């Protein structure tokens, strides 16, 4: 190793699943750190050497994963309930309900632990989230800064956060998702810095997670930088040719979710596809349309994967199914690098986006596309605990809706009307979309990764 690299400040970067690889490596954050003089060591379930192919400049990687004992694994499944301090509502209440119905003995154990005083629960958590393997990793790397995408809300990161804090190593967290603070449990111990997307995430960090305001900063959503200049993906004709679409027809994009989140969502997708087919002469709508169904990565691979044949059967000349390109390996939900730019490309000339309260709604709004959120259960209503309407009580969804930047529909008639309204008047709800971006993702200016890189470099005294 050359002397200057030996002296370089070391960043241990934890990547425990594929979305985090996108967050750090595909946005330029790692490039910024190495360009500023840091040495980055990536700890990941991927095999040694994978990230050498990504960049030969000052990057190493180590195979790292944790095997949990049976008792620790049981605790990991109830940790969100055991540590939640506030009134149970929204997502946490839904977790409680599901656990009590599906695993009553484990739920009883969680209830027993919740009866313990708060400080005792923290002591138990601090004991359970220990790992000699993680301590050995930290002793070997001796990082100046540990960087993670989750502040311990996933168990492997909880262990890394706990062991790092105990050793007095600085920890920075780059927020992976807008919903984590209200859906994934309580953060303990606290990292030195929590980097949030926008003010909604910052407020939840302070109010729900008891972060001190000086330990929270706003930098934007780095993986939304790709939406800053959509013109670079090509003209309408060029993009639609790549996607096999008709440039003369307005495009509806339906972003799906795993079945666990929307049990009857396929009913809605199928109905929209039928509407599109019947629009060929401009009859059902005011103009002939086309539909692109963008499947969620978790439908393709992993625990929530499903049989996709029913989607394929919808395809015809003006109904297409777009499948994220996934990599089947040790790292869960690993998306092929080529797909990172495909999503903004297919949104770049869309006319309307439909989805069911996922992050895809923010992707669409960041692309400047009018967005509809489906709050009903297709052809048959479901139990409230499984219904799409349960999301209306989720804290992060309330923040989404308060901006009035997306249109929520409660039945097929409202969905049909919302599609027609947005096709006819695309400027509808424009001010609400601007407010939504401001509060949720701060800015879509192509500089969020740079702001994050600068913030992390400042922690290392590199800038």
User: 4 pLDDT band (50/70/90 cuts)?
Assistant: very low
Stretch among 34-48, 175-189, 445-459 having the lowest mean pLDDT: 34-48
Cis peptide before 74 (omega within 30 of 0): no
pLDDT reported for residue 52: 60
**DSSP 8-state assignment for residue 261:** T
Section 318-342 average pLDDT: 87
Radius of gyration of the chain (CA): 23
Rounded to whole angstroms, the Cα distance separating 64 from 44 reads: 5
Q: Is 42 helix (H, G, I), strand (E, B) or coil?
A: strand
Q: Under CATH, what is the fold of the domain 229-441?
A: Rossmann fold (3.40.50)
pLDDT band at 326 (very low <50, low <70, confident <90, very high): confident
Tell me the two tokens of residue 269: 């997708």
Q: Which H or E run contains 445?
A: none
Give residue 443's Cα distance to chain centre. 17
Report the distance separating Cα 277 and Cα 285, nearest Å. Answer: 10
Beta partners for residue 290, in sequence order: 251
Residue burial 358-373, b: 16+ Cβ < 10 Å; e: rest = bbbbbbbbbbbbbbbb
User: Mean pLDDT score of the chain, rounded to an integer?
Assistant: 92
Predicted confidence at residue 327, as pLDDT, reads 84
- pLDDT for 173 equals 98
In the prediction, which pLDDT does 3 show?
Answer: 34
Q: List the domain boundaries for the chain.
A: 3-66+131-224+447-459, 70-123, 229-441
- State which CATH number among 2.30.30.140, 3.40.50.150, 1.20.1630.10, 3.40.50.2000 fits the domain covering 3-66+131-224+447-459: 3.40.50.2000
- Tell me which residue of 195, 179, 187 sits closest to 145, measured CA to CA: 195
pLDDT tens, position by position, 375-434: 999 999 999 889 999 999 999 999 999 999 999 999 999 999 999 999 999 999 999 999
| Token couple for 288 | 């002939």
Sheet containing 407-409, strands listed edge to edge, beginning at the edge strand earlier in sequence: 319-322, 290-294, 251-255, 352-355, 371-374, 407-409
Q: What angle do CA 197, 203, 204 make, to 5 degrees?
A: 90
Three-class secondary structure assignment of 180-232: HHHHCCCCCCCCCEEEECCHHHHHHHHHCCCCCHHHEEECCCHHHHHHCCHHH
Question: What percent of the chain shows pLDDT beyond 90?
Answer: 80
Q: What is the mean pLDDT of residues 284-288?
A: 80
Distance CA 323, CA 295 (A): 6
pLDDT at 333: 83
Confidence of residue 5 (pLDDT cuts 50, 70, 90): very low
- Name the more confident of 447 and 62: 447
Q: In the predicted model, what is the mean pLDDT of residues 4-18? A: 82
Do residues 143 and 169 make contact, with C-beta atoms less than 8 angstroms apart? Answer: yes
Q: In the predicted model, what is the mean pLDDT of residues 137-142?
A: 96
Residues 6+ apart with CB under 8 A from 365: 371, 405, 406, 433, 436, 437
Given pLDDT bands bounded at 50, 70 and 90, which one contains residue 330?
confident
Q: Give the burial class of 51: count Cβ atoms within 10 A of its Cβ; 0-12 exposed, 13-18 middle, 19 or more buried.
A: buried
Please determine whether the domains at 3-66+131-224+447-459 and 229-441 fall in the same fold group of CATH: yes
Do 198 and 442 form a contact (C-beta atoms < 8 A)? yes
């Amino acid at each position: 190793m050359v002397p200057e690299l030996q002296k370089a400040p070391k960043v241990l970067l934890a990547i425990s699943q594929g979305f985090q690889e996108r967050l750090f490596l595909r946005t330029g954050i790692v490039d910024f750190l190495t360009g500023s003089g840091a040495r980055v060591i990536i700890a990941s379930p991927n095999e040694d050497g994978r990230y050498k192919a990504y960049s030969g400049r000052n990057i190493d990687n180590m195979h790292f994963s944790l095997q949990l004992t049976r008792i620790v694994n049981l605790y990991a499944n109830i940790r969100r309930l055991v540590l939640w301090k506030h009134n149970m509502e929204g997502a946490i209440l839904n977790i409680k309900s599901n656990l009590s119905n599906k695993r009553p003995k484990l739920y009883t154990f969680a209830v027993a632990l919740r009866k313990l005083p708060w400080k005792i629960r923290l002591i138990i958590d601090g004991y359970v989230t220990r790992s000699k393997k993680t301590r050995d990793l930290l002793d070997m790397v001796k990082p100046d800064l540990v960087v993670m995408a989750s502040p311990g809300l996933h168990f492997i990161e909880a262990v890394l956060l706990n062991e790092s804090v105990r050793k007095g190593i600085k920890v920075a967290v780059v927020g992976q998702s807008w919903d984590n603070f209200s859906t994934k449990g309580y953060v303990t111990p606290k990292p030195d810095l929590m980097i949030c997307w926008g003010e909604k995430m910052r407020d939840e960090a302070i109010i729900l997670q008891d972060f001190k305001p000086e330990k929270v900063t706003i930098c934007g959503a780095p993986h939304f930088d790709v939406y800053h200049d959509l013109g670079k993906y090509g003209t309408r004709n060029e993009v639609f040719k790549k996607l096999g679409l008709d440039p003369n027809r307005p495009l509806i994009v339906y972003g799906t979710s795993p079945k666990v989140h929307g049990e009857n969502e396929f009913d809605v997708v199928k109905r929209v596809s039928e509407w599109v087919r019947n629009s060929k002469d401009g009859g059902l709508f005011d103009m002939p349309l086309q539909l692109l169904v963008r499947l969620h990565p978790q439908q393709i691979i992993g625990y929530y994967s499903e049989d996709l044949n029913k989607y394929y059967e919808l395809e015809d000349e003006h109904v297409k199914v777009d499948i994220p390109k996934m990599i089947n390996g040790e790292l869960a939900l690993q998306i092929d690098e080529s797909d990172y730019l495909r999503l903004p490309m297919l949104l770049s000339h869309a006319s309307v986006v439909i989805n069911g309260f996922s992050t895809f709604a923010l992707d669409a709004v960041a692309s400047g596309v009018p967005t509809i959120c489906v709050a009903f259960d297709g052809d048959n209503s479901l139990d409230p605990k499984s219904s799409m309407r349960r999301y209306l009580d989720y804290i992060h969804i309330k923040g989404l809706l308060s901006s009035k930047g997306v249109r929520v529909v409660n039945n097929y008639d409202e969905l049909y009307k919302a599609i027609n309204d947005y096709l006819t008047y695309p400027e509808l709800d424009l001010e609400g979309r601007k407010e939504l971006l401001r509060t949720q993702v701060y800015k879509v200016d192509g500089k969020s990764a740079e702001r994050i890189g600068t913030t992390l470099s400042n922690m290392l005294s590199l800038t």
